[in-house]
Chain A
């Protein structure tokens, strides 16, 4: 039967139904139904977008050089607007030194050379052929939370200060597969990883990490890496400062000693009060932050409010998170989601009944190695006044009597 007659039958039947309804006034009474329930919805799109009512959710852009260098700086994840433990790819934090390169995967090459038996070149197609593994890991920029070190507490959303952390399901294969293929020479103790961005970002990595859990990552949350996350291939060093998980990976050189690149000497070193500085502090410390409620939010009324946030540790699993609503006088152990995963974000939740009087909210994470998130002042006392890396100190939010939430220094 042809389409036209089929459609005519359908319209005829519809008309009969409408006519029937007209005979029954009671059934025609105002049925509930918003405008969008009364029209046919929009068609499909190839690549989805959030609701138009969620357009305000987006990364917090930190561009210290403005339009002069719009890709130098960071775009922080809006952790205050997210839940669960996986960061959507579109709002995963970005930290880049010279913008995002537009890499043609057909032309990109990865070299493994230096102290190896066989210097090798890998095309992206070749990298895509290795048997894959999938792991969930957080990534945190070493400079995360540096904005919480200003003399006065910044009154910005939580993500604007602490959003240089994200968590994704990464797919690729162990870095050691490529090192085995090239054949390590006995003198090889470090490797230099280098990106194909215009900064040619480079970091020295101890061989121990490379042979342990370092990954060559090709996919993020099920899809190929986004350009700003290192497309077509990045290094991933679970639990270590994000800068070392070199994006747009183009070269791995095995060396006997660290190369002492710019970003492991002049930056990403931790100045001490006596003028010296710690170098090669790779692991990210145990940390947590309450994302809801958090600064710039407002509690509508007293009553039940869930306190929720994220916690993580570069040393392994988060063992517990304690929450205080009285400025640290008393603590309550929060419920954890995802605590079985090492070096991934954990979601914590704590039910809270706000009585309408001022309250001071804090969270404190402890990891499986017994490391405890330090108080802010204690952390600051360890370093020179301009230290801005590895700030894993506790974060404090003050709930005022009118429900507004402020960032305060405890």
Chain B
């Protein structure tokens, strides 16, 4: 009868010690400052598949060709053939072959990623320099090169998220993780 009570006492002491240590190690401190909506808006550049956050503006492949030739083709090749940087067009139907070609057209599951990435990172030597119209236009051009949209179809906040990419269903989410090995 004395044993269980002793165990209980020990447990209580252990818990108390634990709680004290916790409090000493992690005091509740707050050093963040409230961030206003307009301040957030200037850095919030990520665009999910829903298209939430896409800005106003629009562009067609015909308009995008000019942007592409001036700012992109030196690294990505004429018509997105690649070299020295990644190929951006072609490869549809190659993914299960011995020589898969993974491009925007053959591999990328969402068109919104194109707008997101071009705006945040391209061109390599001057990211954040393209206007929203230019980003829409060059996105439209790359989709056109891959036969996904017509040359005069405007890409904008409404149309871009609706583009169905050829490999949309080609991915299997591994989160939560499956067993491996």
Contacts and interface: CB of A to CB of B under 8 A. Distances in A.
B33 interface: yes
B180 interface: yes
Nearest to A110: B32
A260 B117 contact: no
A372 B127 CA distance: 43
Contacts of A69: 124
Interface string A266-304: 100111111111111111011000000000000000000
A265 B30 CA distance: 36
A265 B109 contact: yes
Interface string B101-136: 010100111101100110011001001000000000
Contact of B33 (A121, A275, A286): A121
A277 B172 contact: yes
A281 B174 contact: yes
* A: interface residue count bin: 35 or more
A118 B30 CA distance: 12
B170 A276 contact: yes
Nearest to A264: B113
A119 B41 CA distance: 11
A199 interface: yes
B7 interface: no
A111 B174 contact: no
A198 B122 CA distance: 9
A121 B180 contact: no
A182 interface: yes
Tell me whether chain B's interface is mostly helix, strand or loop, or mixed.
loop
Contacts of A200: 45, 120-121, 127
A57 to B, nearest CB: 30
B137 to A, nearest CB: 19
B84 A131 contact: no
A371 B181 contact: yes
Contacts of A177: 26
A248 to B, nearest CB: 13
A130 B26 CA distance: 9
Contacts of B33: 120-123, 126
Interface in B31-49: 31-35, 37, 39-40, 43-49
Nearest to A367: B181
B1 interface: no
A332 B43 CA distance: 54
Given A126-B32, A127-B31, A250-B43, A262 B127 contact: no
18 contacts: A69-B124, A119-B37, A120-B33, A121-B32, A122-B33, A130-B31, A131-B26, A194-B46, A200-B121, A202-B46, A257-B50, A260-B49, A260-B113, A266-B107, A279-B173, A374-B181, A385-B98, A385-B99
Given A194-B46, A258-B48, A259-B46, 10 more contacts: A65-B85, A120-B35, A200-B45, A250-B43, A257-B48, A261-B46, A277-B107, A278-B174, A285-B181, A371-B180
Interface of A: 64-65, 68-69, 72, 97-98, 111-113, 118-123, 126-127, 129-131, 177-178, 181-182, 192, 194, 198-200, 202, 206, 250-251, 253, 255, 257-262, 265-266, 269-283, 285-286, 371-372, 374, 384-386
